[in-house]
Amino acid sequence: MDTSRYAELFLTESREHLSAINHALLELERGGGAEGEVVGALFRAVHTVKGMSATMGYHDVADLSHELETLLERVRRGELAVTSPLMDMLFKAADTLESAIENAVADGPPVKIAKIIERLKSVGTDTGAGNGGAPRRTSGKAARQRAAKKAATPLSVGAVSAEAGTFVKVSLVADTPLPGVRAIMALNKVRSLGKVVAVDPPEADFEHEGFHGTFTFTFIGPAPAAEIEHAIRSVGDVDAVNVTGARRGTTVLQAVGNEETGLKQQRHVRIDLRRLDSLMNLIGELVITRGRLFEIARGLANAALDDSLAQASRLIGDLQDEIMTCRMVPVWQVFDRFPRLVRDAARTLGKDVTLEIEGKEIELDRSMLDEIGDPIVHLLRNAVDHGIETPDEREKQGKPAVGRLTLSAARDRSNVLIKVSDDGRGIDRAKVLRKARDTGLIDPATAELTDEELMRLISKPGFSTAEAVTEISGRGVGIDAVQNRVRALGGSVDIRTAPGRGTTVTARLPLTLAIMRALLARVENEVYAIPMAHVRETISLEGANVSTLQGKPVLVLREVVMPIVRLRNVVGLPEQSSAVLPDETEQVIVIELADKEVAVVVDQLPGQQEIVVKQFDGVRGGLTLFTGATILGDGAPALIVDVSSLF
């Protein structure tokens, strides 16, 4: 069997299992939940990877999985205690397993696994990981659960009569990729409901090429037939499930994949991301062409053409919405790898930190999701290094010894807010101020820093108050990298900090990088696009309540005072007149970002348009005012304004 065509499928599913392995290891180390359940989940994930890799012919991955599985079985039986050295080895084995999988699929040089396999085999026979070493920190609840488990009489699966269970027969869809893997996944799903015994053929045979996707087993547990069937079908590519209740002596459920039974077919397919990118590019060109057609039709005044164009426009809009929906994925696909990162960074620095994740279900465009990983890594590592104190420091300040770090995602209209918050020491404004004075970044007479000034300073390239370079940070790479990346994505970064209470950094991002609604603003002969997500309203400057505050023009709108910014000055165009305030023909765009507002004055407002965002690399030393460009309906280019740069 040629398995190379299934390599991407193997890699995708293996990454899901690796994520589960890392989460289970973190849970085991923290002592949360029932230890037996956590070890069981670990064992099942490793066992599935073993079966998949054996089927694919990735022998190094299978060998390492086998030894890791053997070790976990000893932990599950109570032969090995969960100690800190053992946890370190398990994390190391998980990292090596991940590298072995990536290299196997990429057909790269083999990962050296012999050393880690020998260490796994030697556990319990030396003074290293295993029964020796310091026990991990755990809660009293977890300790009581383990004690109760040891005191209880274990139930032997072999002692349960198969006749007391439910007989289940499963048939996979013909020519299913990796049928053995699907079968193992189905059994693991059912095991979450109860016990599985008398598997035929044996699970070891699932890895052989002769296995064609039909197997039987006996289920022991209270779950009804419908729940058993649902669990099996959730893995996909299942053709038929027959559940027979031996205790009831009747056929409880028979669901065969044909027209007469309602046909529960597989509703999901895997699509190469490059195809989605291609579709997105094509719909973008359609949107540009649609704008061009509207411009042409406007000069022809043909009713039939207008009707046809309106219908085509609706169809293009529907197609755009469907493609955008296909590209939306939940942020947990990126967030799930951060608990392990925080754990490793905290151990390196001798700190104790927990990471809480909120809003995992919030969705972002796939391309956006791929881009936000690195900025979040910088924020988390900086929070662990600079924000969270050591356990001793925290206890002296009356704080819990364990630092708290929160990563959250939330929707805000057509934006997504990504927040990283810590309950640490906060940013030392005095230290930042001294550093800024020493480096000549601010006026020596400056006595204090606002949050905005603080943000501008710490986001300067290379700016760092760290006295020593560590493995985590201190090289002047952090907030500036976050600021540059987020702005390149059409977003903005905000920071709030309080001494002794912690810091919150918020990245505001658009849902997608591809298409957005924009307000067109003209200054002389130049047209600029301003994202509608940040436009609150527009007014004429004529009759507006304009005043001055500390010598600068401000707009008073419904008792709200906001600064006036002339786009002409920002983009470097010459003054229209020598007047302090612009003349009455100009228009005002009220822009809001988070809790801030600004009045942007332009010459004209040609209208709104759906624009296709084209990213570009900024010119060295050039303005950071623009996040991209677009093509307007008349074929002319327009720059997209980064609204955060106007504040």
Answer yes or no: 569 catalytic. no
pLDDT band (50, 70, 90) for residue 163: very low
- Structural domain count of the chain: 5
Per-residue pLDDT reduced to its tens digit, 361-415: 888 888 788 788 888 988 999 899 888 999 999 999 999 999 999 999 998 877 8
| 160 vs 219: CA distance, rounded Å | 11
For residue 524, give both structure tokens.
């002389």
For residue 24, give both structure tokens.
């289970």
> What mean pLDDT value characterizes the chain?
79
Identify the active-site residue in 13, 27, 29, 47.
47
Q: Is residue 442 domain-shared with residue 298, that is, in the same domain?
A: no
Answer yes or no: 281 catalytic. no
Q: Is residue 45 domain-shared with residue 193, that is, in the same domain?
A: no
Q: Which residues of 203-227 are buried (b: 16+ CB within 10 A; e: fewer)?
A: beebbeeebebebebbbbbebebee
CATH number for position 102:
1.20.120.160
In a 13 Å sphere around the CA of 502, the CA atoms on its Cβ side amount to 17
Q: Is residue 532 domain-shared with residue 642, that is, in the same domain?
A: yes
Q: Is residue 99 domain-shared with residue 180, that is, in the same domain?
A: no
| 291 vs 633: CA distance, rounded Å | 4
Q: Percentage of the chain with pLDDT > 70?
A: 82
DSSP class of residue 614?
B
**Domain that includes residue 539, residue range:** 515-646
pLDDT band (50, 70, 90) for residue 92: very high
pLDDT band (50, 70, 90) for residue 155: very low
Question: Ramachandran region of residue 106, left (φ > 0), alpha (ψ -120 to 50) or beta?
Answer: alpha
Which of these ranges, 355-359, 373-377, 458-462, has the smallest mean pLDDT? 458-462
Answer yes or no: 395 catalytic. no
Identify the active-site residue in 69, 363, 371, 610.
69
Domain boundary among 151, 183, 212: 151
Whether 268 is in a domain gets the answer no
Q: Is residue 532 domain-shared with residue 421, that is, in the same domain?
A: no
pLDDT above 50 (res 247)? no
| 494 vs 592: CA distance, rounded Å | 13
Q: Is residue 358 domain-shared with residue 488, that is, in the same domain?
A: yes
Q: Is residue 324 domain-shared with residue 337, that is, in the same domain?
A: no
CATH number for position 523:
2.40.50.180
pLDDT at 34: 63
Please compute the mean of the pLDDT values over residues 28-34 and round it to a whole number. Answer: 74
Whether 266 is in a domain gets the answer no
Contact 598, 550 (CB under 8 A): no
Per-residue pLDDT reduced to its tens digit, 288-302: 888 889 888 888 888
Residue with tokens 């008792």: 559
In whole angstroms, how far apart are CA 625 and each of 198, 490, 567, 631, 643?
67, 10, 10, 18, 8
